[in-house]
Amino acid sequence: MIELNLDLRREQGSVPTVAFTLRPIGIVHAAPVKRARLPKYFVPRGRAALELFHPYGPGLQGLYEGLDLWVITYHALSGSIPGDTWQGGAGRPGVFATTVLQRPNPIEFLRAKVIKVDSAQGLLHVEGLDAEDGAPILDIRPATSPRHRLTRPGEDKGAR
């Protein structure tokens, strides 16, 4: 259960602290990339393997080649925004209107496309994932609405 002291939220400058326990379900294996000044809306083309820890491998059942995913990872550079730079102002956008690496919390929601599923080995091969090698994976979700049932390409969406 998460408890928030609503009185703290009303005080300007106070940020309520809530503790969470997150358990990684796997790790990202990505080829090292040379960091350069990238275009504002850069779409990564690299491939990565997502290794799931035991017992999470069977959770890959139902995923298929070509499916878009959200991969949620722990990102060590986040949570380290200096001072009030996250607020924007003076013609600068606030942190929530940008894709900067320094965020208020150490999590990333990254988009990727499934290339190959190897449930027996607990491996998910993806492309387009802009994650650091060794990043802990917190969750993987289809990039669809939770109300939509996953279907394979060509499968009748009304069939159950």
pLDDT digit string, tens, across residues 106-149: 888 889 999 999 999 999 999 998 888 899 999 999 997 666 55
Q: Predicted confidence band at 150 (pLDDT cuts at 50, 70, 90)?
A: low
Q: Predicted confidence band at 6 (pLDDT cuts at 50, 70, 90)?
A: very low
Stretch 85-105: mean pLDDT: 74
Residues 42-53: tens digit of each pLDDT: 445 678 999 999
Stretch 81-89: mean pLDDT: 60
Stretch 33-48: mean pLDDT: 59
Give the pTM. 0.71
| Cα 68 to Cα 45: distance, rounded to the nearest angstrom | 14
Identify the weakest region by mean pLDDT among 16-30, 49-63, 146-160: 146-160
Q: Which of 107, 112, 117, 114 is nearest to 137 (CA)?
A: 107
Q: Superfamily assignment of 22-31+43-82+94-142 in CATH? A: YaeB-like (2.40.30.70)
DSSP letters spanning 78-139 = TT---TTGGG-BTTBPPGGGS--S--SSSEEEEEEEEEEEETTTTEEEEES----TTPEEEE
Q: Structure tokens of 141?
A: 């979700």
Instruction: Check if the beta carbon of residue 70 is closer than 8 Å to that of residue 110.
Output: yes
Evaluate if residue 158 carries a pLDDT over 60.
Answer: no
